[in-house]
Structure 1
Amino acid sequence: MRASPPAMRGAGPAERRFVVYVEGPRDRDVIDAWVRRASPSLARLLAPAWVILGGRQPARAALHLARAREALAGTRGLCVLDGDALAGPLASDAEGLELFTWRRRHIESYLLVPDAIARASRSRDARLRRLLDDELPRAGDEDALASFDAKGFLGRKGPLARFLGRPVAPGAIARAMRLDELHADVHALLEALAAGVGAQRPEVAVYVRPRGGV
């Protein structure tokens, strides 16, 4: 008797033709905020597509998608993974699944924009900007930004929370970011998401990458 697929949070796989797999709710909230900033119409199309894996588990996404394709042929998926470890091997039945792995360490690594953090913090304390300048790698130093412990910095016990007396949610920072503050990797993900839904809805122009980006 074949085991049932692992339970995951999200709409039933047979109800859609494109599935976006993310490691956790925080990833979904951050990406959704970026999508809404770039294209509200894309955000609406993606609303039923999210599935939370509960960790960095591409093989679990492959299993879930395989079952979804049994119910609805042609279903495709995009699995978004942090870059802090090599992806595990995918099952042989991973047809239709694309992996998108961040080049930086965590998804939070793309939130290290001082102006956006300051806006999200809602603090008028001038010392906040000095803290951000002292603690964060310089903009453009991709190696330093890629390896920086963004989760620790933004966490409940990190320097930002200690200074403010409270943490600032990653989703709040993502919502505070302007389109021109999104990294090229984020724009690449937005393009992949737009392609995922656009293949089924070619008449909908959901996302156009701005010229000149970060």
Structure 2
Amino acid sequence: MKSTVLDWPKRFHVINGVARGLMYLHQDSSLRIIHRDLKASNILLDSDMNPKISDFGLARSFGGNETGANTSRVVGTYGYMSPEYAADGAFTIKSDVFSFGVLVLEIVSGKRNRGFSHRDHHHNLLGNAWRLYKEGRSLELVQAYPGVSSDISEVLQLIHVGLPCVQQCPEDRPNMSSIVLMLGNEGVLLDAKKPGFFTERDLLTAECSTNPNVACSMKEMTITLLDGR
């Protein structure tokens, strides 16, 4: 899916459709389904710009009251995986919520989270969005788009939906039914905390290389990177 070719109403329509699709998978389907690899390339658009969630090769289904599990083999796409899944192999419906939040901020900004760079700091896309949000400058996230001033309320609404989804702790993230409610009502918005993977990458690397007292090791894990077709 190419977010840059969509105007703001269509972008909002796509995000709302993906949210409703995930809500169905998480709570309305006969089996609870966690996708585990939600990303832009796994969202297909039909001729009317209706989104369809695709590629369920990594999905896991659960019955009863189960909402997640642990795995010793972490698979997915870097940049969309939640912190608890990438570090410990723990995945729940809130892992999909994190991926959805990344997707929202990518569609809003027209930038990919993985490989994001900024001339003034070393934060990733999530960190940049949160930094602008805390400083009351969220619209700077979409400065590259002409005519955005006519859709300010929708733009801010999407940013205020995306940021709570990428919180560090799963318990701080809303569920998909709450997200659908927020997308349908501008008055129902949540405050955002610092997102997961909020790091100054170059500064951390420099500190690790120069300070022997800084612990820089990561828990061993296997990650399969899946690129879009």
State the TM-score, normalizing by the size of structure 1: 0.24
